[in-house]
Structure 1
Amino acid sequence: MVTKSHYVRKNLILMKDMGKKNRGIRAQWTEKTMAEALQLLREGNSQETLARRCGIPRRMLRNHLESGLSKHSLGAKPLLRTQENDLAVKIIRFAEKGFPLTSKSLRGSVFKFCETLGVPHKFNKVTQLVGKEWYRSFLKRHPNISQRRAQQLQKLNRYIADDYFTKLGSLLDRKGLKHRPEKLHNMDEKGCRLTLQNKQRVLAEKGSRRVHLIAPEHGENVTIVACANALGQVVLPMIPFKGQRQKPTYTDGLPAGSEVCMTPTGSMTTGTFLTWLDHFMSAPPTILIFDGLSSHLDVSIADKAEPLGIELFCLPSNTTHQPTHGRDCFSPV
C-alpha cells in the first residue's frame, strides 16, 4: 500500500536531485561558442534562437553583448582587478629586500587602499582588514606567490646569512652605490625615560648641603628616531611624543631642524614613518636599512619611498645590535 509519506519522500528526493542538476549545468559553453553567438547576434539574429542553439541563457548573451566580453568566468569579479598585478609584483620585491608581508599586513594595506580611493566594498570596518576569503582567492589568482615560514635570526645559519648579504650586495651593485658610503643609511629608534629637568625644592634638615631626590621607578618613555650613514653623518632626530597636543616645551634644547610629532602611543607607527620619510629627504638614490617591526611593514611606506629615490632594505628579525646601537649614536643616551 502506497502511503502519503511515500509520495512526500519521493518528491523531496526529486527536488534534491533537480538542485544538483541545476548546479551542474552552469556555464556549459566555451569562449569560442560565446564569441560566435555574439557575432551572429550583431548580424541581427534573434536572441531566443541563438540561446536555444548555443545553450546560452538570453540574459547572459545580452550582458556579454553590452560589455563586449566573451571570457568564460563564474562568480564575483576581483575587487581590484587592475591593481592586483602591481600588488603581486610589490609583494615579491618586498620579500627580496628582506621584509616580506604577512597576510595580516597585506589585508590591512588593501583595506586602506579601498578606503582611500573610495572603492565600494563589504569588508569589516571594525578590524580594518579585508576578508580571509579574498586573501585565499588572491593567492589562487597569483600562483607565483605562496605562503612561506619566515626564518628568524635566532635560527641563523651560514646559508641564511649568505643569502641576506648577497641580496644587499646585489642591491648596492644594481644602484651603483657599492663605493658610496654616504648613500647607505641606517635608521633605528631608541626608547628613553623622561627625567625631571628642573631641580625641585624639597624639605630636609637645616644646614644639609647635599640632598638627593630618588627618581620615580616608572617614568614616562619617549622614542628617539635616529639615522646615520656609513660615513657617520647623522640625520637630525625625530621624536614622537605620546598624546594629541604638542607643547612648546617639547622642542626645548633640541638641535635646529629636529622634528617633533604626536602619536597615540609615543612610538613609531606607519603614519609616523611616512612623516619621517619627508624629514629624511636624502638626495636620491639612497639605501635605507631599518628593522622589521610590524609598524614599519606597510605597502604605503614603500609606495612613498620609491618616488623619493629611497631603496628600503630590512634587517633580519631579532637583530638587536644595529649599526646605530652601541657606541655609535645611542651611547650618550
Structure 2
Amino acid sequence: MVRNYKKKTSRGDWSEESMKDAVKNVVEGKIGYKLAAKSFSVPQTTLERKVKLARESLDKNDPMTVKFKVPLGPKEKVFTDNEEEELCKYIIDMESRLYGLTMKDLRGLVYRLAVKNNKRHPFNNEKEEAGKDWALGFLKRHPELSIRQPESTSSARAAGFNKQVVDQFFNFLGNVYDEHHLTPDRIYNCDETGISVVPKTKSKIVARKGRKQVGAITSAERGTTITVEICFSASGNFMPPMMVYPRKRMDAQLMINAAPGAWGVCSDSGWMTSELFLDWFKKFVKFSGATPEHSVLLLLDGHSTHTKNIDLINEARTHGVIILCFPPHTTHRLQVADVAYMRPLSTYYDHQIMAWLRSNPGMTVTVRQVAEIFGKAFIQASTMSTAVNGFKKCGIWPYDPTVFSETDFAPSLMTDIQLNVSDAPASDNSSLIMESSSTEPATNNNQNAPIISEAISVAATLTDAAVTPVTVETETLSRLDTAASISASTSLSTNLVTALTVLPNSMSTPEPGCSYWLDNSDLNERPRTPQQSIFGVVSPQQIMPFPATTKTSRSTRKRGKTAVITSSPYKNELEETIKKKEQAEEDK
C-alpha cells in the first residue's frame, strides 16, 4: 500500500459551505444550475444531484438534511473523531503513569476496540491487530503523539514522588522561609556524585552512515570511582568541591591542577562517610558565613551520613545552619543538583576526558589525572544561570509549591490503595493519618484525635506489591490534617500517605503481573468506567486498565522521611534511637 499517497486530481476539492449556498440559491429559484456552479465554484453535476436530494427532502416536509460532503473512495474511518480523541487521551494517560504503549500494544488494543464495539474494520483477524499503516496514520492525525525511547524509572521513585509527600516538603520549606526570612544567597543545595576514569556519559560523534557499531577509546573497561561533594546556592555561588579517593592515605600529587579551592580526602571505599561529611560541613560553615544571627538553609538528601549524624546536627545548630532533607525517592525532581547540574557536569567531564586522550595518544587516564580533568569540567558547568534556573525549576527559589502539575504525580497513582471501610473503627470523626512514604507509623497518645489504626505507607508496597489492573470506582476519602494537639516529636514522625485503592473482597487476588488483555468473559463482567466513555460498548480503559497495586502488609523496617533535621524534636528522637541501639549492643 502506498503510505504517502498524493492526490493527482482536483476532484472533491470544492468547499462544503459553497455547495450549501449554491443548493440554497437553486432550490429558492434565484439562479440556475450553470450560473450557480460558476458563481460558487462547485461542479454542476454534483450540484444537480444535491439539489434533487434537497427537493425530495422538502417534499416530505422534512428539513433539508442533505449530506453535502462525502469522503472519496470506499474507505471509511474505523473510529469517529471523538473516539480517536478518547483513545489518544488514554494513550497519554498510560504514558504519564510510566506504562506507555508500544506500537504493537496500540495495534492490538485498537483491534480489540473495533471488535468489541462492532466496528467495520480492515484489520488482520489472524494476528488480531491493526495494520502498521493505520497506526502511522493515527499518529499523523494526532501530532501530540510521537514515538519516544523511555528512560528507566524505578518503582520507588514512581510511587515516592506523590502530591502528599511533596506538599509536606514545601510546607516545611515555607515555614523555614517565613521564620528566618532567607535570601537566595543563604539557600544552598549539596549532593554527592561519583566520577571515574571511564565517564558514564558518552557524547554523540559523527560516524559513517550504516555502521552497526561505533566505538570510542576509553582508559579501561571499568574505572575507580571517586566521590565528589558539590554545593551551590540559589544565587549561583559555587563552593569548591571536595574529592573522596578510595585510599588509606592522601597523596598531595592527586590534587595537582585541581579546581581552585578544591581539596581531597580519603576513605576505604571512596564513598562519603559521616566523619568526612562533618569535615566538609565545617568548611561549608566558613564558606557560607552562617551564624546564629545570620541563618543559612542547606538542602540535602536523606542519606544516613546526613540524617543520622548527631555530630553534624550539633555543629549545624551551633552555627545557625538549618538542614532540610528531601523526601525519599524524590531527588530526581526536587534536588537542584540532580535536576539541573549533574548532567552538564557529566557531559563536560566526558569532553575533557576525550580531549586528554587525544592529546596523549597511547596513554590512559589514572586517578592522578582525574582532579585536573574534573576541575576543567567543574569550571565549565558551574555557571550562575545553571544554579538559578535549577532552583527555579524545582520550585525552591522563588518559592513555588505549585511548580508540579497533576501529570507529574500521575506515576504515583499506581500505588493508590483505598482502605477497606469495613475494617476501620466506626467513628464519625475518623480520619487518615498522613504518613511519609518511608516512615514508621507514629504512636499518638492524644485521645482527642481519633486515627485509623491501619495507616499504609506508599514505599512499603514497592517491593512486594503486585501490579494488577483495577477499574472499580472508588469513593473519595476525606483527609484531615493531623490534630494540633499531637506532640512535636510525634508530628515529626508522622508524615504523608497516599490515598490507596483496594480490590473488593469479592474479587480473588490475582497473580502479580502487569496489565493484560482481558477475555470476553472479563469484559462482560467488568463494570463501566467511572467516566462515561464515548465508545458504545467497551472503552480502552476496560480492555487495558490502568495498572494499580493491591494492598500488601507493610514492612517493619524504619524508613527515611522529610524533616528539618536540625530541629529539637528530630534531634531528641535521633539521640533516643542511638541510645537504644547502644543499650542493645551492651545487652548482647
TM-score range, shorter chain: 0.3 to 0.5
Counting strand residues as a fraction of each chain, which structure ranks higher? 1
If the length of structure 1 is used for normalisation, what is the TM-score? Answer: 0.46
If the length of structure 2 is used for normalisation, what is the TM-score? Answer: 0.27
